Amino acid sequence: MSVSEREPKAAAPRLFRMDGLVALVTGAGAGIGRMAAASLAEAGAGIAVTDRDGAAANRVAKELGRNAAAFVIDVADEAAIVAGTRAVLERFGRIDVLVNNAGIARRQSTVEMSRETWDQVMAVNLTGLFLMTREAVKPMLAQRSGSIVNIASIMGHVGGGLYPNPAYHASKGAVVNLTRAWACEFGPCNVRCNAIAPTFVNTDLARPMLSDPTMRAKLESLHPLGRLAEVDDLAGAILYLASPASAMVTGHSLAVDGGWLSR
C-alpha cells in the first residue's frame, strides 16, 4: 500500500488530547497563564500551576481539581526555579510541556527608564524564561519528547509606536528569536519550541491601556478583526502548540492578534 492510500490518521480531537502528559505553566495564577493551565487540564494533562503569588497558584490548582498542584516559583529567582522544578518532578514524575508565561511590562520611555526597571523586565521576561527552560528541558531531553510554548507578544515583532515600551519590546523580541534557537538546539532530541504572539488581551497587564477609552478605541481600530483579545481567544493556539497536534511544528511564533501584524 502506498503512503497516499493509507487510512488518514484524522481523529483531530485525539491529536489534541494530553492524557498522561504533565504541563508546567509559569505565572498561572491569573490572566493568560490561568487560562493556559485550564485549557491543558481540559485536554487531560496534569498541571503544575506555578506563580510567584502562592495564594493565586493555590486558587487555580483548586479550580482545576485533582490532576493539578500549586508551586511557588518566582521566575526572577534562580534558586526558586531550581527547587520548584525539582518539586514538580517529585510530585508528577515528569514534565512534557513548559508554558513560559510569566511576564511583566514597565511602560516608560528610554530616557525615563532607570537601569533597575530595565533589569526588572529582563529578569522576568527573558532571564526567567531562560532559567525556567534550562531546568524544565532537562527531563524532556532525557525522555526525548517535549514541547515548550513561550508567550511572546506582537511587540516582539514590531516597534510599537503608540507609546514607548522599550524594555518590553526588547525582551519579547529576544523571546521570539530564542524560540528559534531552542527549536534548533532541542529539535534533535524531539523537543519542540514555539511561541505565541498575542495582541492586547483583557488582563491586569493590559488594564492601564484598556481602561482608557480613547486608547482602547485607537487600539481596536488597528485590528482588522476590530476588537482586542480575551484570554479564551488564546486557548486554542496554546493547546495546539503544546499537544501532539503540532508534532512537526517548531521554531514558529504564532500571532494571535486579530490581524495586527498583517497590516
Q: Residues for the chain: how many in total?
A: 263
CB-nearest residue to ligand NAD: 103
Binding segment toward ligand NAD, per CB under 6 A, in 67-75, 157-165, 217-225, 237-245: 67-75
Q: Which of 15, 17, 53, 143 binds ligand NAD (CB under 6 A)?
A: 53
Q: Which of 147, 165, 194, 203 binds ligand NAD (CB under 6 A)?
A: 203
Please say if 168 is a catalytic residue: yes
CB 167 within 8 A of CB 122: yes
56 lies in the binding site for ligand NAD (CB under 6 A): yes
Catalytic one of 92, 168, 200, 260:
168
Calpha distance 167→143 (Å, rounded) = 36
Please, where are the H alpha helices in 93-153? 115-122, 128-143
223 lies in the binding site for ligand NAD (CB under 6 A): no
Write the DSSP symbol of residue 200: -
CB 137 within 8 A of CB 92: no
250 lies in the binding site for ligand NAD (CB under 6 A): no
Q: Which three cell numbers stand for residue 255?
A: 500571532
22 lies in the binding site for ligand NAD (CB under 6 A): no
Calpha distance 171→83 (Å, rounded) = 25
126 lies in the binding site for ligand NAD (CB under 6 A): no
Gyration radius (Cα) of the chain, Å:
18
CB of 30 to ligand NAD, least distance (A): 4
Binding segment toward ligand NAD, per CB under 6 A, in 14-22, 182-190, 198-206, 241-249: 198-206
Instruction: CB nearer to ligand NAD: give 51 or 135.
Output: 51
Q: What angle do CA 61, 67, 68 make, to 5 degrees?
A: 25
Calpha distance 54→72 (Å, rounded) = 5
74 lies in the binding site for ligand NAD (CB under 6 A): yes
In the stretch 150-179, what mask flags binding to ligand NAD with x, by CB under 6 A? -x-x--------------------------
H/E stretch holding 50 reads strand 46-51
CB 146 within 8 A of CB 140: yes
Instruction: CB nearer to ligand NAD: give 144 or 207.
Output: 207
CB of 44 to ligand NAD, least distance (A): 23
27 lies in the binding site for ligand NAD (CB under 6 A): yes
- DSSP one-letter string for 170-232: HHHHHHHHHHHHHHHHHGGGTEEEEEEEE--BSSGGGHHHHTSHHHHHHHHHTSTTSS-B-GG
Write the DSSP symbol of residue 7: P
186 lies in the binding site for ligand NAD (CB under 6 A): no
In the complex, which residues of this chain contact ligand NAD (CB under 6 A)? Answer: 26-27, 29-33, 51-53, 56, 73-76, 101-104, 124, 128, 151, 153, 198, 200-201, 203-206
Q: Which are the catalytic amino acids?
A: 168
